[in-house]
Amino acid sequence: MSIFIIAEIGINHNGSMDIARDLIKTAKEAGCDAVKFQKRTIDIVYSKELLDSPRQSPWGNTQRAQKEALEFGLEKYQEIDRYCKEIGIEWFVSAWDGESQNFIRQFNLKYNKIASAMIVDKKFLAQVASEGKHTFISTGMSKVEEIGAAVEIFKKAGCSFELMHCVSTYPMDDEDANLGAILSLKSRYKCNVGYSGHEVGLAVSYAAAALGISSLERHITINRAMYGSDQAASLEPSGLRQLIGGIRKIEKAMGSGVLGIQPKEVPIAKKLRAHICLEGD
């Protein structure tokens, strides 16, 4: 099974449909299977105190001004839907509240995503699971008991899912990756496990691929120097292309795991062992 590669656009579009479109095109041309956005109902996800607090950004001097500028509404999501269909790439969303999840249902997308922040909200998990769409569940910031509760909700609903090992630091230090957790999640929950990475660079994602992940999610950007909290942990177009090329090579290199001489080795063995008198010859 080929690793399902997700380009996380998130809020790296900085409120611009032109940037969003460029990132979708970049993901498609690099060979990604899907792009993912984030959707929030600002007044549900954030408190009034936080929204009224000061924050300097290209859109104003409050948290509300910045956060509202980064939220796409119906018209822009309709354009995303149209453009993704036009160029042939799947898209989906990680919603951060029930209202946002209801909003995105109108597009009848193939996948859902549970962000690490939302894995502890059982009511929200049940809402998503009730849709019956294959769901990627990120496990960042989560205790074993919280992951187990999420798994049970999706199993009870009969909703297809996979876990995604994740460490929720931005950017993540390589030594914090704990990639062994991928194998632990597989063993404990008997399900497919992917990796959602926030590191700088490619090595950790390559290592995750070699551990047999079913999916890989990385943030992408036009330029890592752009404004935004996720930009530094994102891949630029050249890095994304390099990552996918490497992942596909790793998939081929893993092989079947069957022990024994390979057909291409037979003539080499005959040549290099010609001087050896083997037992039975």
The H or E element spanning position 128 is helix 122-129
The answer on pLDDT for 216 being more than 70 is yes
Provide the strand spans (E) within 189-244: 193-197, 215-219
**Residue 163 to residue 28: CA distance in whole angstroms:** 24
CB atoms within 10 A of CB 234: 27
Q: Positive or negative CA dihedral for 112, 133, 184, 208? A: negative
The domain limits of the chain are 4-272
Q: Categorize the per-residue pLDDT at 131 as very low, low, confident or very high, splitting at 50, 70 and 90.
A: very high
What pLDDT shows up at residue 73?
Answer: 97
Q: Which CATH architecture has domain 4-272?
A: Alpha-Beta Barrel (3.20)
- For Cα atoms 129, 131, 134, give the angle at the middle one, nearest 5 degrees: 70
3-class state of residue 247 by DSSP: helix
Helix/strand/coil percent split, the chain, to 5: 45, 20, 35
Per the prediction, the chain carries an average pLDDT of: 96
State the average pLDDT over residues 135-142: 98
Rounded to 10°, the helix 203-210/237-254 angle is: 30
State the average pLDDT over residues 10-32: 97
**Residue 205 to residue 102: CA distance in whole angstroms:** 32
10: nearest Cα among 128, 90, 95, 109: 95
DSSP string, 87-109: HT-EEEEEESSHHHHHHHGGG--
**Residue 169 to residue 229: CA distance in whole angstroms:** 11
> In this prediction, what percent of the chain has a pLDDT beyond 90?
94
What pLDDT shows up at residue 7?
Answer: 98
Residue-wise pLDDT tens digits, 35-46: 999 999 999 999
Which residue would you say has higher pLDDT here, 33 or 1? 33
What pLDDT shows up at residue 280?
Answer: 64
Rounded to 10°, the helix 180-189/144-157 angle is: 50
What pLDDT shows up at residue 9?
Answer: 98
The answer on pLDDT for 281 being more than 80 is no
